[in-house]
């Protein structure tokens, strides 16, 4: 499978996809479908459009698809799980994001909203910045109502980074924690 990603951890090639680019109209990525394709594939070729997006520790937002029915309960559970580590915002279909999704929160054809777990700094869990990405992914996945998320933590990743000097290939050498 080949997919563009938003940010990549240089040490183990964990990555995030499906973010909404700053200052643009809201993007509604097909995260649930991408997760199905990832589960069915043996290898991911992650495309990164700028070397600045290859980092020592992932930071920023993780998009999370949730079922629209009882979305507030799911959002509250995610907020409780990441309390002190991140804020939870609902992505709008138009305009700017805010905790409630603005006047027009995004609703997919399958009846799903997109929440953004917005970390001020690097990805954290229980106040710890050195927690493994698998633990963060598991903390998201165990919450009832979560359909899929944009944190990719898996073996079998090759990254291709668009750099001024030409494409750079990064092979996965460390296990993803």
HEC-encoded secondary structure of 42-66: CCEEEEECCHHHEECCCEEEEEEEE
Please give the pLDDT value at position 21: 76
Please give the pLDDT value at position 177: 56
Please give the pLDDT value at position 174: 63
CATH number at residue 114: 3.30.70.260
pLDDT values of the chain reduced to their tens digit, one per residue, 177 residues? 999 999 999 999 999 999 987 766 677 788 999 999 999 999 999 999 999 999 999 999 999 999 989 899 999 999 999 999 999 998 888 776 667 666 778 888 888 999 999 999 999 999 999 999 999 999 999 999 999 999 999 989 999 999 999 999 999 876 665
Please give the pLDDT value at position 101: 66
Domain count across the chain:
1
C-alpha–C-alpha distance, residues 90 and 98, integer Å: 6
Helix axis angle, 71-81 to 133-141, nearest 10°: 150
Please give the pLDDT value at position 97: 65
- Look at residue 131 and tell me if it is in a domain: yes
Q: Which residue has the tokens 């399958």?
A: 110
C-alpha–C-alpha distance, residues 60 and 147, integer Å: 20
- Look at residue 176 and tell me if it is in a domain: no
- Look at residue 102 and tell me if it is in a domain: yes
- Look at residue 177 and tell me if it is in a domain: no
- Look at residue 68 and tell me if it is in a domain: yes
Q: How far apart are the first and last CA of the chain?
A: 21
Whether 13 and 155 have beta carbons less than 8 Å apart is answered as no
Domain hosting residue 123, numbered range: 2-171
């Amino acid at each position: 499978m080949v997919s563009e990603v938003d940010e990549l951890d240089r040490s183990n090639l964990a990555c995030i996809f499906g973010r909404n680019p700053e200052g643009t109209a809201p993007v509604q990525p097909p995260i649930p479908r991408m997760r199905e394709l990832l589960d069915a594939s043996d290898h991911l070729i992650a495309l990164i459009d700028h070397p600045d997006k290859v980092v020592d520790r992932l930071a920023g937002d993780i998009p999370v698809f949730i079922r629209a029915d009882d979305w507030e309960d799911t959002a509250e559970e995610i907020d409780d799980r990441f309390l002190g580590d991140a804020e939870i915002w609902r992505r709008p279909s138009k305009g700017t994001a805010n905790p409630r999704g603005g006047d027009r929160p995004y609703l997919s054809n399958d009846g799903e909203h997109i929440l953004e777990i917005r970390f001020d700094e690097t990805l954290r869990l229980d106040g710890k910045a050195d927690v493994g990405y698998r633990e963060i992914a598991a903390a998201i996945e165990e919450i009832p109502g979560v359909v899929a998320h944009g944190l990719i933590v898996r073996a079998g990743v090759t990254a291709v980074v668009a750099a001024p000097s030409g494409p750079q290939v990064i092979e996965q050498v460390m296990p993803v924690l």
